[in-house]
Amino acid sequence: MANFLNNILFIFQRLNWMSVLDILLVTLIFFILLYSLRDTQAMVLLRGVIFVVVALVLLTTVVELPAFSWLIRNALPALLLAIPVIFAPEIRRALERLGRAGTFLPATNHAPISGLQRTISVVVEAAARLSARQHGALIVIQRMDNLEQYVETGVQMRAQVSPELLLQIFYPDTPLHDGAVIIADEYIVAAACVMPLSASGILNRTPERQLGLRHRAALGISEVSDAVSVVVSEQTGSISISHAGRMIRHIDPERLENILAAFFRPDTTTPQRIWLQRFFPYLFRKED
């Protein structure tokens, strides 16, 4: 015990502020890595990789196997090259999030407050009527991040948003009912847009595991941008809302209006908080 305490004291005596900074930087890198992989299928892959590495290290150190040890040592560089391929979607998502966080000055929404309130009322009314009729729908409302690349995948409209137009677009078997509607600055910019599907495992842990593509697309667009997506289930008529890789399901129109109002109220936060919010959206998730 005395030797152990002496070793601990020796380590602390050698610490200086540069050593503490070094440890904090390494800790921050591992924190960002694990935080980016949370609630994704990559976490399962990461646990598998760690298990294989630990098993191989124990096997080569406990038992003397020269040929096997030689094979593992020579195969390790190939494994390191394979890691970026295995975790390519997660690395891409982290770089996209870093790119969105690269500016300290947020983009401004050009729509006036009255226009935003009208847009929220229209979306809530349309979602309530679509829910009552059990017509599936996916409505994506643009915030600061530009969604032009997804607008180009659909049919451009540039029509003023209204409940009747949304109901007509999502009427079953009409040409535009498949895909998402993108709303920006009080206008329906495009319909029948293709959204990225979610790569996380959040929906797989819900009681209804067989969720359709609309829910996965709603969650997917919220993972790659700061947009807010409202989805109406075609099977049950339930309303859900998704933002920052999180989804709130089975909400009523009144709660939907409160959540949308919270997302689109004027933001007076500091630029530093906005930068952190863009890179770590889960830490600053708004609650209704």
Q: What are 211-259's pLDDT values in tens digits?
A: 788 899 999 898 888 899 999 999 889 999 999 888 899 999 999 999 9
**Residue 212 in contact with residue 232, Cβ under 8 Å?**
no
Q: How confident is the model at residue 165 (pLDDT cuts 50, 70, 90)?
A: very high
pLDDT by residue (tens digit) across 49-63? 778 778 877 877 777
Distance in angstroms (rounded) separating the CA atoms of residues 59 and 42: 25
pTM above 0.75, yes or no: no
CA 37 to each of CA 41, 61, 90, 101, 283: distance values in angstroms, whole numbers, following the listed order: 8, 30, 7, 18, 15
DSSP 83-106: HHHHTHHHHHHHHHHHHHTT-SSP
* pLDDT score recorded for residue 111: 52
pLDDT by residue (tens digit) across 97-115? 666 555 444 444 455 566 7
Residue 178 token pair: 């498949």
* pLDDT score recorded for residue 104: 41
Distance in angstroms (rounded) separating the CA atoms of residues 259 and 261: 5
pLDDT at residue 27 tops 50: yes
Q: How confident is the model at residue 123 (pLDDT cuts 50, 70, 90)?
A: very high
The residues that bridge with 182 in the sheet, in sequence order, are: 140, 190
113-267+274-284: CATH topology: YojJ-like (1 (3.40.1700)
* pLDDT score recorded for residue 40: 59
Q: Sketch the domain layout of the chain as residue ranges.
A: 2-100, 113-267+274-284
Residue 106 token pair: 């947020």
